[in-house]
Structure 1
């Protein structure tokens, strides 16, 4: 059963996102108004070292007033590929330069309301170059063992859906 978007009207817009009101036709012909949030794509990097540890950020999110582990990442800038953005964001937020990036997955964290696509890459290794340019992004950066992922999930220490999905997949792929 497919819902049809017959058009959208802008409600609010800024450089980061747009809020639109969509005229949606349901399969039975009924119409409803549905708000949509249109976001720019996001890219993240999961760098894995020789000890099967992943480089994570420990950070506070003021919107949910919660702390948790996250992969470094951010918005894909105009003229930039998701892989370029993932590498740039990792370097800016951690001071580490990722090895060659390989696609891991694309997730859509809230597809019933938001059209954001999160492109997640992984790399074998990373090189420490210096202090992060964006050190305000996190309280600390640590190499965390992938084998701890189930425990961290149980502790609700990985609340971000994109990081959670990526780490579960990497944990599974590495069969830890």
Structure 2
């Protein structure tokens, strides 16, 4: 079994959002290499699929990649907050919809060769519109999008984030087969 071993790491930089560490890694053949990695807080995401098989999405711009795409409401889990509570909070803040009972859909590692980030995706079959989103600056618009369009949107590159692609493809499969 070929296993890379982390023999230890030290912090190079940190802030409230992330830590950048340098690890001493032993390769299976005994060689060593320095490997930079990011340690990140967990992220929770949430969406709703309604009775018409429409999913609640956000259309937003990401300045880092200068791209637009459909995403799920998402954010960092605060200290002492459960994953499910964080997912519900983010959905309400970013969409104005309070989800009904949430179910865990999946957990993904979007870039496990560089970070230890875990993205925990939740979904519900009901939601209550509470009002205009508190964090409306996070997206240009929020829309109910037909799950039947998911494959087309992913293929066209309109869903760009790995967590949203994985979640939407799984929801499409679960609801539409």
- TM-score normalized by structure 1? 0.98
**What residue in structure 2 maps to residue 124 of structure 1?**
125
Residue pairs, 1:136-175, within 5 angstroms:
136-175=137-176
Aligned length: 176
Residue number in structure 2 paired with 1:45: 46
Q: Secondary structure at the match of 1:127?
A: strand
Deviation at 1:154, TM superposition (A): 1.6
Matched, 1:12 2:13: yes
3-state SS, counterpart of residue 2 of structure 1: coil
- State the Cα distance separating 1:28 from its structure 2 match: 1.1
Structure 1: distance between partners of 2:156 and 2:162: 15
Q: Is there any run of 5+ residues in structure 2 with no aligned partner, and where?
A: none
Report SS of the residue matched to 2:90: helix
Q: 1:32 — aligned with what?
A: 33
Please tell me whether residue 91 in structure 1 is matched to residue 115 in structure 2. no
Which TM-score applies when normalising by structure 2? 0.98
Give structure 1 regions of 4+ aligned residues with deviation exceeding 4 angstroms. Answer: none
**Secondary structure in structure 2 of the residue aligned to 1:173:** helix
Correspondence list, 1:102-121, <5 A: 102-121=103-122
1:61 aligns with 2:62: yes
Deviation at 1:175, TM superposition (A): 2.2
Q: Name stretches of at least 5 consecutive residues in structure 1 with no aligned partner.
A: none
For 1:97 and 1:137, locate their aligned partners in 2 and report how far apart those are by CA, in whole Å: 17
**Residue 71 of structure 1 pairs with residue 90 of structure 2:** no
| Distance (whole Å) between structure 2 residues aligned to residue 109 and residue 46 of structure 1 | 18
